[in-house]
Structure 1
């Protein structure tokens, strides 16, 4: 937990992230769910069906790390397990941003690898995990995503969306935005007939850790 972060501050960051995600074109309406780790071994997760650009404190459910609702909205997102299990395997994660970015999902569905093209892509995303399609809200989706999150900060769920984690809400959102930007760049490269260009592999060693 960031030093000095209060519950109100963390919830405000999550609400702002929802507005930013929609404003940036990453999602529309309720196309995803967001969470942040709270003091006292708890997490705040967006409630079921909430529009991400219309969040307020009443749109957030408070869960303990066993998945029990302990405050806030009594009806958490159907994807609460995805968040809860990711926090279990990544104790360094302070936020999980799960969104449905269209270019990322489209390229993955077409079997196209999303290439990290720029320094920003390489620095923030680093590597991309992937899991096969599983129904939303299922144990299978939550468990496979969490397993990939042990290795990757960004994980694509086939025909569904992606989850990105960070040491705070801003970092998790930055990674989601960078992943979609890399997908758009890959799509544009494919339109130009390029199937090879990506960030130089030998340059990864020179990147500072984010």
Structure 2
């Protein structure tokens, strides 16, 4: 998925990711929300409240000012999690897309108090490190602020008993990170059922990848 250069391309990419997320089991019905900065603009679009991610059209997005969070156009009511996206963009000017989904294995492993282990090369390349945000109600200032704080050090965060937030320079990369987080969680869960508590990607190679 290439970097979108027009708003129509951006809507198409977000709709494609929404369909992929539902098809992959990373979101159910209207669970989760997606956003992306508008090309060459100080605004971003975010899915509107109650939208189903596998049925997105251009009418299902609100346009929000990146500086002060005002709704400037599109759907009148943005997602209840719009502040999470907004404050992440404020902290990370290099991030152009935020994908908030509800990956079940990632949430489960985290709720068990277990570390989600990076096992494969893809996990190491795309996830690298996982931030953790304690539970706060959805749409709350606390959740938005703590997620943005974790985003200063991580591109992927698990939101306790809730979901994940994955960031990228483009929509495709943000979704790829969310998908690899869930795959790593599935691998961790399987390892735990086999009684293994140590296997993970070699630490020395992971350290090198983090500096690439």
**TM-score, normalization: structure 1?**
0.96
Shift of residue 49 of structure 1?
1.0
- Aligned residue number for residue 10 of structure 1: 10
Work out the CA distance in 1 between the residues paired with 2:189 and 2:176. Answer: 20
CA gap of 1:4–1:15, structure 2 versus 1, over 3 A, is: closer
Deviations 1:53-87 (A, max 9, x none): 01111111111111111111111000000000000
Give 1:1-210 correspondences, 5 Å limit.
Answer: 5-38=5-38, 39-65=40-66, 66-207=68-209
Task: Report how many residues are paired.
Answer: 209
Cα contact 1:116–1:199 (8 A) shared by 2: yes
Shift of residue 190 of structure 1?
0.5
RMSD: 1.4
Structure 2 regions of 5+ residues with no counterpart? none
Cα contact 2:3–2:170 (8 A) shared by 1: no
Work out the CA distance in 1 between the residues paired with 2:165 and 2:208. Answer: 26
Structure 1 regions of 5+ residues with no counterpart? none
1:48 partner SS: coil
1:70 partner SS: strand
4+ aligned runs moved over 4 Å, structure 1: none
Work out the CA distance in 2 between the residues paired with 1:206 and 1:129. Answer: 19
Shift of residue 207 of structure 1?
2.7
Greater Cα shift, 196-205 or 144-153: 196-205
1:115 partner SS: coil
Cα contact 1:131–1:144 (8 A) shared by 2: yes
Cα contact 1:128–1:154 (8 A) shared by 2: yes
2:123 partner SS: helix
CA gap of 1:190–1:9, structure 2 versus 1, over 3 A, is: same
Work out the CA distance in 2 between the residues paired with 1:20 and 1:131. Answer: 25
CA gap of 1:28–1:192, structure 2 versus 1, over 3 A, is: same
